Structure 1
Amino acid sequence: MQQNLNYVYPQVFWVDGCTSASASSPSAPPVTPFPPPVPDRRTKPGHNRERRSVGFLVIFMLILLALTGVGLSMFQIFHLEKELAELREVRSAWPEQSMEKEARKAAHLTGNPTQRDLPLEWEPISGHAFTDGIQYHEQGLVVNETGLYFVYSNVLFRGSICSSQMLTHIVYKKNPTLPGSHVLMEDKGINYCTGQKTWARKSYLGALFKLRKMDSLHVNVSKIALVNFEESKTFFGLFKL
């Protein structure tokens, strides 16, 4: 027996890159098309280089900022150390200045209306009166340290009858080691009224003197009854330069 060896081969066509069986072979199974290729999602080499460049730039900027901050901090520290040294120098001079202020002597006395005799008596404590490093003793100011002093005295004379008598205002000093007294300043007033029933005349004395230790200063007037003893009108004082 002879077998029929004549086979029919199906025709194959290429369509869009895919194979398909010919219609002449209906018995052949359909061919499934290949899926499209999946795109490569990995970053391209050029993009990687750009990212690395940006990263290096950011790191460089951060390092530059850090170095700048360190430099500014060192500059500020140096500046602060300089200012601190200057403040220490100034503060080291404070005790000397304080000692100078403490060593300064001064006194201001105001009129005392209860007095009855010369030289003039004064109020050393109440009101504007004070003594600082100067002693008020026996109606005068006693100097306990040799030096230059500015001495001043103001007296207001006032009366209700105009007379021709002379008004005298004197500041003098005494020292227990020297005899007598020595006039430092003097003011004499004449023709201070012209027939009015009431009158007033101010006499001010002030000058710089070199005084010795234990010198005592006093104020004398020609007539106590004509002196106005208000503290703003009649006063006496000194201070050491």
Structure 2
Amino acid sequence: MQTYKGRAGASPRAQPGTAPRAFGCHMEDHSKHVRSVPLPAMQQNLNYVYPQIFWVDGCADTSTSCPSTPPVAPFPPPVPDRRTKPRNNRERRSVGFLVISLLILLALTGVGLSMFQIFHLEKELAELRESASTERIPPALEKLIGQREQLNEKEARKAAHLTGNPAQRDLPLEWEPVSGHAFTNGVQYRDQGLVINETGLYFVYSNILFRGSVCSSQVLTHLVYKKNPSSPGSHVLMEDKGINYCMGQKMWARKSYLGALFNLRKMDSLHVNVSKIALVNFEESKTFFGLFKL
């Protein structure tokens, strides 16, 4: 590294006609050419002297001409702008909507796969249970159980329940076979009676409610009888008679219930008869008639 020595000095006042001394630097190796740059003329007329400024160029040989302007060091390449452009609100909303849609689709896909897996497992479990039950029960016993179930279903349909019908015309009593609590399964209601379609053991029942506003000595009769086209006449199955069922001249009511087990044949028809239709209360919960097969 080259060292520089210099001195600086100036008189407080410059003598007329003489140039003021200038500050400067002296290099020991004389490898640099020193060129003085005078101050403007208007500054030389001042009472005090400004130091002169020297510019040292890099020319080593004074005999050769140096370039008038010093070399300029190249500037570094510009730094690229790494700032991203701000996104507008519409683009942000679009990205957010896309993300939410993808999340919802993923959730629905997971739920669908879970439901499919559960359904598949339930199907396999049902097949295992069916195979296990089939292996445990012998074929002969399984056939017998199936026949018994079919028989029970067939027998369960052999039943009927009829309710009172106020639109009475003549004896035997007419009934309501459809509306309310009334029904017929495997038994036909025809000609004011129940027709048996299959021979077997049946339980037959009938309930009649008598009521009146004046007490009299009339006998109340309630009976159930059957008929069959193969045999003439009718056969009484059950009968009830009421005597002394009221006292004084007050309103009265009396219930008559009949019920028993009978072996009935195919084409038997069952009917109900009373002593006087005008004394019967035909409400469906008080007067009814029916049967069922055992």
Correspondence for 1:97 among 139, 149, 152: 149
Q: Provide the rounded CA distance (Å) in 1 between the counterparts of 2:150 and 2:178.
A: 24
Partner of 1:141: 194
3-state secondary structure, aligned to 1:228: coil
Letter of the 1:213 partner, please give it. Answer: K
Shift of 1:221: 0.1
| Distance verdict in 2 for CA 1:230–1:81, change over 3 Å | closer
Say which of 229, 243, 260 aligns to 1:207: 260
CA distance in 2, matches of 1:100, 1:140: 25
**Cα displacement (A) at 1:144:** 1.0
- State the shift of 1:217 in Å: 0.3
Q: Secondary structure at the match of 1:179?
A: strand
Aligned to 1:163: 216
Structure 1 distance, partners of 2:267, 2:214, is: 41
Deviations along 1:9-67, whole A, 9 cap, x unmatched? xxxxxxxxxxxxxxxxxxxxxxxxxxxxxxxxxxxxxxxxxxxxxxxxxxxxxxxxxxx
CA distance 1:140–1:83, shift in 2 (3 Å): closer
Q: Which structure has the larger Rg over C-alpha atoms?
A: 2
Aligned ranges 1:47-126 → 2 under 5 Å = 83-86=133-136, 92=143, 93-104=145-156, 105-126=158-179
% identical aligned pairs? 75
Q: Structure 2: where are the runs of 5+ without partners?
A: 1-129
Return the alpha-carbon distance in structure 2 between the equivalents of residues 189 and 88 of structure 1. Answer: 59
1:223 corresponds, among 276, 281, 292, to 276
Query: CA separation of 1:167/1:102 partners in 2, compared to 1, >3 Å: closer, same or farther?
Result: same
Matched AA of 1:221: V
Q: Secondary structure at the match of 2:152?
A: helix
Residues 1:180 and 2:230 aligned together? no
RMSD: 2.1
Aligned length: 163
Deviations 1:121-146 (A, max 9, x none): 00000000000000000000000111
Q: Please state whether the residue corresponding to 2:149 is helix, strand or coil.
A: helix
Distance 2:131 2:285 in 1: 52
Q: Per chain length, whose mean CA-contact separation is higher, i.e. which structure has more relative contact order (CA < 8 Å, sep 6+)?
A: 1
Match of 1:193 in 2: 246
Partner secondary structure for residue 231 of structure 2: coil
Task: Report SS of the residue matched to 2:136.
Answer: helix
Distance between the aligned counterparts of 1:236 and 1:213, measured in 2?
A: 19
Q: Distance in 2 between matches of 1:87 and 1:188?
A: 56
1:106 is displaced (CA, Å) by 0.4
- Structure 1 stretches of at least 4 aligned residues deviating more than 6 Å after TM superposition: none
